Amino acid sequence: MLVLYRLLRPEEEENFMTDGLSAKDINSTVSVNDHVTNGSRGPPSKYISCSKSEEAIMDFASKSITQPQTIVKIQIDPDDPSIEIIDLTDRWTLDKHVYVESGRNFARKFDEVLIKGHIPPECISVLPIEDLF
């Protein structure tokens, strides 16, 4: 089982436990490089950014102005063919997909892993508040 973490966007807060999490635009042609380099300031993409590290997502949350802050834990079977995972913590994968240095730095700093399209609700749980401090 692959364990990931995500700081939810405000619009994800209401229905993530029933609907799961979906990329902003599943038909987007935005590249992995552009998604990682531009983050939420870029055009909508088909990727959902997650972190492989609880410490990294806490660091990311501490820099965010988003309120309220809900961090979820995502448990995904990496062998599930219906879920496409792009693990940017793997150097070869990072080299293949992200070539802009600022994007590479961001991906490394936050142990970024991308999920393409959708994360089913049964994979998601809220990180307990005591784990946040």
85 burial level (CB within 10 Å; 0-12, 13-18, 19+): middle
Say if CB 1 and CB 77 are below 8 A apart: yes
Residue 133 has pLDDT above 60, yes or no: no
Residue 65 has pLDDT above 80, yes or no: no
Q: Percentage of the chain with pLDDT > 70?
A: 94
Please state which of the ranges 31-45, 59-73, 101-115 shows the lowest mean pLDDT: 59-73
Euclidean distance between the first and final Cα of the chain, in Å? Answer: 25
Q: What is the mean pLDDT of the chain?
A: 91
Q: Looking at residue 41, what is its pLDDT?
A: 82
CA atoms within 13 A on the CB side of 1: 8
Q: What is the phi/psi pair of residue 58, to 5°?
A: -65, -40
Angle formed at CA 41 by CA 37 and CA 47, multiple of 5 degrees: 65
CATH T-level assignment (fold) for domain 2-127: Heat-Labile Enterotoxin; Chain A (3.90.210)
Q: Rounded mean pLDDT of 56-84? A: 87
3-state secondary structure of 95: helix
Q: Which amino acid is at 117?
A: G
Winning range, highest mean pLDDT, from 13-17, 69-73, 120-124: 120-124
CA separation for the pair 61, 118 (Å, rounded): 22
Q: Looking at residue 127, what is its pLDDT?
A: 85
Q: Rounded mean pLDDT of 62-74? A: 82
Q: Rounded mean pLDDT of 2-14? A: 92
pLDDT 10s digits, 20-52:
999 999 999 999 999 999 987 889 999 999 999
pTM of the predicted model, to two decimals? 0.91
